[in-house]
Structure 1
Amino acid sequence: MTIPKTAAEAKQLVDKLWSYCHVLRHDGVSTIDYVDQLTLLLFLKMAQERAERKAFGGGKEIVPKHLSWQTLVDSDADELRHTYENILEQLGKKPDTALGLIYHGAESKIRNAATLKRLVVDLIDSVNWSGTGVDIKGDAYEALLEKGAEDIKSGAGQYFTPRSLIDVIVRCVKPRPDDTIVDPACGTGGFLLSAHDYIQREHGETLTKEEAQHLRNGGISGVELVHGTARLAQMNLLLHGIGEAGGKALIDVRDALARPPRADERASLVLANPPFGRKSGFTSIDEFGKVTREDVSYDRSDFWVTTSNKQLNFVQHIAKLLTVDGRAAVVVPDNVLFEGGAGETLRRKLLKECDVHTLLRLPTGIFYAGGVKANVLFFDAKRARPEKPWTDKLWVYDFRTGEHFTLRQNKLQAHHLDDFVRCYKPDDRHNRTETERFKAFTHDELVARDKANLDITWLRDPDLDDGENLQPPEVIAQEIVDDLQAALTEFASVAEALQLAKAEREGQVEDD
């Protein structure tokens, strides 16, 4: 197969930049830190290119000259570190702007001046990034993020949703130019970028000036708890031409669950893959090195149920974030579908007050977090209607049974989900037909199930049969490893909670 020129060029850029990551590891720079440092430096280079090229702003100065990329290039190795650290400090002074968000609190992790000089001159300055076009820069940058996600030890994988899955979800919900699109757990911004690309591809030639302005300055935005990840998301948006460097930051750094959405924060389309893990909370370390963790239950009057389960809280938050007739597609782990107590309350409320119309059951082996069993839940917000539930039928597509993917040898591709998109019928969702993998369940059938359990299966797994359908030993072994890793994570959380509870009891006794 012939690789398109743009894809080939993007791969060359990634290979060149990524090869240097291994060099920097000797200086103690981790994978995710390396991507972060590239983010900070790439923007300076591109800002200068745009200021110099008439096609990219007509000489408009984005970064002041005394803080520009050229000052780094002109600095010798002895003064380079000081120059770079000064640039980071000065550009980060207005964190409410896109530029300020990227550089606020940033610091150079590259301690060796000679190494920094090589990164600036040999790698980044040698490429005309603006000249390669937005698609090349976007592809290269996303590939870097994906490579970072592959490094499990770096923790980067928790921020990365496979682009193939994102694109399939976006094809189903069909973002429109007039949509206000929000991701309340945006990570590095994959959903936002895919939605923007879809609109440009499907509506680019007919976009009005007002629609283009809407999409560029506020129609697409996200919320992210971790500042370092928010920085990557904001840079990713700017690389794709979304927002202005000196304009308002389009990524809000905060806990999305902490308060109800304001009227001006409501969205007509929400796309999200909230972080995995059941408990909401935070960990702190005091001056003596003692680690403590506090679980958080959000006492929000707009929530249907109070719980410390952050996935349940995110589903509630997304439902409240939507405008009337707003659409949502959210990735949720299996426990959201079957967990009792607060989970049951949430599901019954969601089925009644929203149109929960589609559930895609995902296979294992597609996320960088091992052992994850996840689904995509599609639902629409509706006005209050106490006399009748809004969910008529939930259509379930089982893409898990008999499907096996790995992150390298058998990676999930968008075409693997073409049948799901055909069954979903994005252009005619109310005229669906059942297939072997696609079944409809009425509201009455759903609420009659024990705990309104939506973890529904009907296909027989061929792996359970004897004979030829048995999976290869390496696939079975990897699935066992993934399940064990997931179980160990759960046990570790329980052990940590028990230790903290014991410490709190002993502390109370001492205080008494």
Structure 2
Amino acid sequence: MITGRIKSRVDDVWQRMWEGGITNPIEVITQLTYLMFMKQLDDNDLEAERLATMTGQEFHSVFPDTPEGREMRWHVFKTMRPEDMFAVVSGRVFPFIKTLHTGNAFAESMEDASFGFTKPKTLERAVNGIDDLLDNYVTDRDDLGDLYEYMLSKLNTAGANGQFRTPRHIRDMMVALVDPKPGQLLCDPACGTAGFLISAAESIKARYGDDMDEEQWNLFEGPQFTGFDTDQTMVRISAMNMLLHGVTQPDIHNRDSLSRSNTILNRFDVVLANPPFTGSVDVEGVDDSLKAIVDTKQTELLFIGLFLRMLKPGGRCACIVPNGVLFRSNAKAYRQLREELVERQKLEAVISMPSGVFKPYSGVSTAVLVFTKTDTPGSTGDVWFYDMRHDGYTLDDKRDEDMAHNDIPDILARWTDRDGERGRARTEQSFMVSREEIVEKGFDLSFNKYVEVSYEKKEYPPTSQLMAELHDLNARFVKGMDELDDMLAKDGE
């Protein structure tokens, strides 16, 4: 568990980086990620050496067996003077890890990485900070993952393409809605920092870990999880995030998921995603199979078409969309996409979220869609609508914890008992809507299209009575002022 004390240590390291001239939050995380990998590499080497000594086996270090190679190990260079440390890390260790292909996704993503430290003292402070955190405060892999998640939470600016980090509690809710199982293949085609894949991995371990067999654990260590991102820096960060959460071989790659180079079809059991909301793409570069589902250049629509193409028949998806996807009717593609989900797939739920969920990144209003790929007309039955008003945090830029106002436990409880939702009135916070009614309403999926607002009739006194009361109140006020004047006059005598 990450305590306030650990957070303050992370904040201190972060501050030292800023003071040293590394001020871009992404760059801070990136450089700290490189250092964490260097330390983990040496820690693993030391553990392998210890086991070899105990068992009498021959030990082969991942580092060169030379005086210069031994200086490249974390436990050696961390004790050097700042200038010597800088020379070793920048001149030898960093180039070494760029060419090191250990079989994990992070090492394989390092080819075009660059060393961002320019001051020996800044590097020394960062090395000491990471060393202190990992040696003195991290007791197990869960703590290590939580520590990295806290670092990632400090990325509080939206990306240029409209992407931003999905809060962990929202990711966990969406994972619970689709309940990924051991042996199932999962994908996030716009993975960012791999948050959805991490939440899915943690859910699988917590719910099914005790009963998983060797084959399922082997799949869990990597091939079960696939993620793509157009930003190579994000690929490195997500690969490290997965590695620190026990997934050593994830299929994480730098790829434009919407391009013709992505030909994946009918592969995945589960898709979890919060794709970019803004901007459009070059239609000529979009695969024809996506345009067949929804003919548009809007990324938020194309990604849903992509999810449908990548899912196996029977595969399920939980994704975040901007509210406009639910109701926009002035653009043909929006209705075309909604009609696809309702008429040819199985739309299961529409959960509207308050606009503050993504602050301070963005104030955009969003919703969660849950659907199953069927490619069969008439698969959609009743669709569950829920109006989330609170998510356990204040809805301002501070986003302070406010668990007294949290609809997520109610969402998950009602989701598991959807049969009980069928009798709910349209004045409630959640209810079922039939496919036929959605078709009748032009495939509008906004909560407000179906909710019934009840108005309480309030009786007020007649105007004459109100005026009489006002006159009486005024008379008493004047009388009081006169009495006050008399009192002041007597005091002055």
TM-score range relative to shorter protein: 0.7 to 0.9
Give 1:142 shift: 0.5
Equivalence for 1:146: 153
Equivalence for 1:87: 93
Matches within 5 A, 1:373-388: 373-382=365-374, 384-385=375-376, 388=377
Confirm or deny that 1:25 pairs with 2:30: no
Give 1:115 shift: 1.4
Could you tell me whether the CA contact under 8 Å between 1:327 and 1:381 is conserved in 2?
A: yes
Equivalence for 2:398: 408
Match of residue 371, structure 1, among 338, 363, 368: 363
Matches within 5 A, 1:73-222: 73=78, 75-85=80-90, 86-93=92-99, 97-124=104-131, 127-128=134-135, 132-149=139-156, 152=157, 158-222=163-227
Equivalence for 1:252: 253
Structure 2 counterpart SS, 1:103: coil
Structure 2 Cα separation of the partners of residues 274 and 393 of structure 1 = 26
Structure 2 Cα separation of the partners of residues 440 and 62 of structure 1 = 61
Match of residue 300, structure 1, among 274, 283, 288: 288
Structure 1 counterpart SS, 2:314: strand
Deviation readout 1:167-222 (Å, 9 max, x if unpaired): 11112211111211111111101111111111111111111000000111201121
Aligned-residue identity in percent: 25
Kindly tell me: are residues 217 and 20 of structure 1, through their superposed partners in 2, closer, same or farther at Cα, counting changes over 3 Å? closer
Q: What RMSD in Å do the two structures reach over aligned CA positions?
A: 3.4
Unaligned runs of 5+ in 1: 1-5, 282-293, 467-512
Confirm or deny that 1:356 pairs with 2:347: yes
Could you tell me whether the CA contact under 8 Å between 1:397 and 1:438 is conserved in 2?
A: yes
Kindly tell me: are residues 71 and 98 of structure 1, through their superposed partners in 2, closer, same or farther at Cα, counting changes over 3 Å? farther
Residue 280 of structure 1 aligns to which amino acid in structure 2? S
User: Is 117-126 or 368-377 further displaced after alignment?
Assistant: 117-126
Structure 2 Cα separation of the partners of residues 256 and 263 of structure 1 = 9
Give 1:367 shift: 0.5
Could you tell me whether the CA contact under 8 Å between 1:359 and 1:375 is conserved in 2?
A: yes
Confirm or deny that 1:344 pairs with 2:335: yes
Residue 300 of structure 1 aligns to which amino acid in structure 2? D
Deviation readout 1:297-323 (Å, 9 max, x if unpaired): 624235312211000000000011111
Structure 1 Cα separation of the partners of residues 418 and 62 of structure 2 = 48
Deviation readout 1:335-356 (Å, 9 max, x if unpaired): 2112331111111122122110
Structure 2 Cα separation of the partners of residues 17 and 119 of structure 1 = 10
Could you tell me whether the CA contact under 8 Å between 2:35 and 2:130 is conserved in 1?
A: no
- Scaled by the length of structure 1, what TM-score is found? 0.76
Give 1:110 shift: 1.8
Structure 2 Cα separation of the partners of residues 399 and 306 of structure 1 = 31
The total of aligned residue pairs comes to 434
Give 1:106 shift: 1.8
Equivalence for 2:7: 14
Confirm or deny that 1:439 pairs with 2:431: yes
Kindly tell me: are residues 158 and 19 of structure 1, through their superposed partners in 2, closer, same or farther at Cα, counting changes over 3 Å? farther
Equivalence for 1:226: 231
Unaligned runs of 5+ in 2: 54-58, 459-493
Kindly tell me: are residues 411 and 332 of structure 1, through their superposed partners in 2, closer, same or farther at Cα, counting changes over 3 Å? farther
Residue 18 of structure 1 aligns to which amino acid in structure 2? D
- Scaled by the length of structure 2, what TM-score is found? 0.79
Give 1:117 shift: 1.4
Equivalence for 2:463: none
Equivalence for 1:483: none
User: Is 343-352 or 258-267 further displaced after alignment?
Assistant: 258-267
Kindly tell me: are residues 57 and 346 of structure 1, through their superposed partners in 2, closer, same or farther at Cα, counting changes over 3 Å? farther
Confirm or deny that 1:46 pairs with 2:37: no
